[in-house]
């Protein structure tokens, strides 16, 4: 049994790693052997692997066209493997511990223009009107779904919520008088998000229609519900949104999270400071929020290229 098999067994029994993780480690180690020691069928002489070998591996990865994210993941797996070998006394040094990996390129978030947001908000009622003709007798349910989904998108766009945060809202999380919503974000952290006039108007209308469908009158019952009165799931809303994108003539790969991205960028474009946007989004680090400055700058450059005669 080779050392890499011992490592995989260790990951399974002592680190409780998932089957997917173990298979990924196995494939990464096997690929390393195939690329660096193609003439050795069952390579197991790990003490001969040095920093030069590790650097050559990155060059091989680049040759076969792996992207940065894949290279970083594979190097991380090999670093863990050699850390195990070092602890077991199989190797003296971890050749991957001091290896500088290619920096992950920052992918700018995709967002919608304000005009596209408006089209999306109008889509639920248009879609459900058509759906009613195909489902006679379900007009009331379809109208409720259209109102609920439009309201939910208004709340996501108004407060910059994640989809999980939106479906997790309870009726008592909404303060109509203070125009805020209490949101439970990642790590059970709570924050307050603002609600604009359109979102508040939609909520008032929706809450009245919701009252006729809820079984529990508790203030801690879910805000967004399905037609049977139970909490709406993120999966159901995401499936509905695909239909709304088609109705609005928008790209099919947009998602509820793109509404959140749009909120942040539109706020920044309108003059909001980055620290305030960080608090509204619930980011623990300002560096996470700074990606939106790149988005805003990129949009300005696009406008400049199109409009300036010497661009």
What are the tens digits of pLDDT across the range 220-271? 799 999 999 999 999 999 999 999 999 999 999 899 999 999 998 898 888 8
Q: Do residues 121 and 244 share a domain?
A: yes
73, 213, 257, 299: the active-site residue: 257
Q: What gap in Å lies between CA 205 and CA 159, rounded to an integer?
A: 18
Position 109 in a domain: no
Dihedral sign (CA 184, 186, 190, 192): negative
Active-site residue flag, 10:
no
What pLDDT is attached to residue 14?
A: 86
Position 95 in a domain: no
186, 189, 230, 235: the active-site residue: 186
162, 258, 261, 266: the active-site residue: 162
Active-site residue flag, 186:
yes
| Average pLDDT for 82-100 | 88
What is the pLDDT of the chain when averaged over all its residues?
87
* pLDDT above 50 (res 122): yes
Query: What are the tokens at 3?
Result: 């050392």
Count of domains for the chain: 2
Q: Do residues 67 and 162 share a domain?
A: no
Using only C-alpha atoms, the chain has a radius of gyration, in whole angstroms, of: 26
Please provide the size of the chain in residues: 311
* pLDDT above 50 (res 1): no
Using alpha carbons only, give the angle 288, 290, 293 rounded to the nearest 5 degrees: 145
Q: Do residues 138 and 65 share a domain?
A: no
Active-site residue flag, 310:
no
| Average pLDDT for 9-21 | 87
191, 260, 261, 266: the active-site residue: 260
Q: What gap in Å lies between CA 266 and CA 272, rounded to an integer?
A: 9
Helix, strand, coil percentages for the chain (3-state, nearest 5): 60, 5, 35
Active-site residue flag, 20:
no
Q: Do residues 82 and 148 share a domain?
A: no
Among 27-41, 73-87, 104-118, 259-273, where is mean pLDDT lowest? Answer: 104-118
Of 70, 87, 104, the residue that ends a domain is 87
Q: Do residues 72 and 119 share a domain?
A: no
> What's the whole-model pTM score?
0.63
Query: What are the tokens at 27?
Result: 């494939």
Range of the domain at 151: 114-307
Percent of the chain surpassing pLDDT 90: 51
Active-site residue flag, 257:
yes
Specify whether the CB–CB gap between 296 and 269 falls below 8 A: yes
Q: Do residues 39 and 130 share a domain?
A: no
Active-site residue flag, 266:
no
Q: Do residues 192 and 255 share a domain?
A: yes
The CATH number of whichever domain residue 140 belongs to comes to 1.10.443.10
């Amino acid at each position: 049994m080779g050392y890499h098999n011992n490592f995989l067994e260790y990951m399974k029994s002592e680190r409780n790693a998932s089957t997917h993780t173990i298979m990924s480690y196995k494939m990464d180690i096997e690929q390393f052997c195939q690329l660096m020691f193609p003439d050795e069928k069952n390579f197991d002489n790990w003490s001969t692997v040095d920093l030069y070998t590790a650097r050559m591996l990155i060059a091989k990865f680049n040759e076969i066209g792996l992207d940065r994210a894949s290279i970083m993941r594979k190097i991380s797996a090999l670093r863990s493997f050699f850390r195990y070998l070092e602890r077991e006394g199989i190797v003296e040094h971890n050749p991957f511990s001091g290896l500088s990996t290619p920096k992950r390129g920052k992918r700018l978030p995709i967002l919608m223009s304000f005009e596209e947001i408006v089209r999306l908000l109008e889509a639920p009622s248009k879609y459900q009107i058509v759906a009613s003709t195909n489902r006679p007798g379900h007009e009331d349910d379809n109208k409720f779904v259209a109102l609920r989904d439009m309201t939910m998108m208004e709340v996501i766009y108004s407060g910059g919520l994640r989809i999980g945060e939106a479906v997790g809202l309870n009726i008592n999380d909404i303060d109509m008088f203070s125009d805020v919503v209490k949101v439970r974000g990642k790590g059970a952290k709570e924050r307050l998000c603002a609600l604009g006039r359109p979102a508040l108007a939609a909520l008032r209308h929706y809450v009245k229609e919701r009252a006729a469908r809820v079984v529990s009158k508790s203030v801690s019952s879910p805000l967004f519900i399905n037609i049977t009165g139970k909490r709406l799931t993120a999966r159901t809303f995401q499936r509905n949104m695909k239909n709304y994108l088609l109705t609005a003539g928008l790209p099919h790969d947009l998602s509820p999270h793109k509404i959140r991205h749009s909120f942040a960028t539109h706020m920044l474009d309108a003059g909001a400071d980055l620290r305030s946007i960080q608090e509204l989004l619930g980011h623990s680090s300002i560096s996470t929020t700074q990606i939106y400055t790149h988005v805003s700058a990129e949009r300005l450059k696009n406008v400049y290229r199109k409009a300036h005669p010497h661009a």
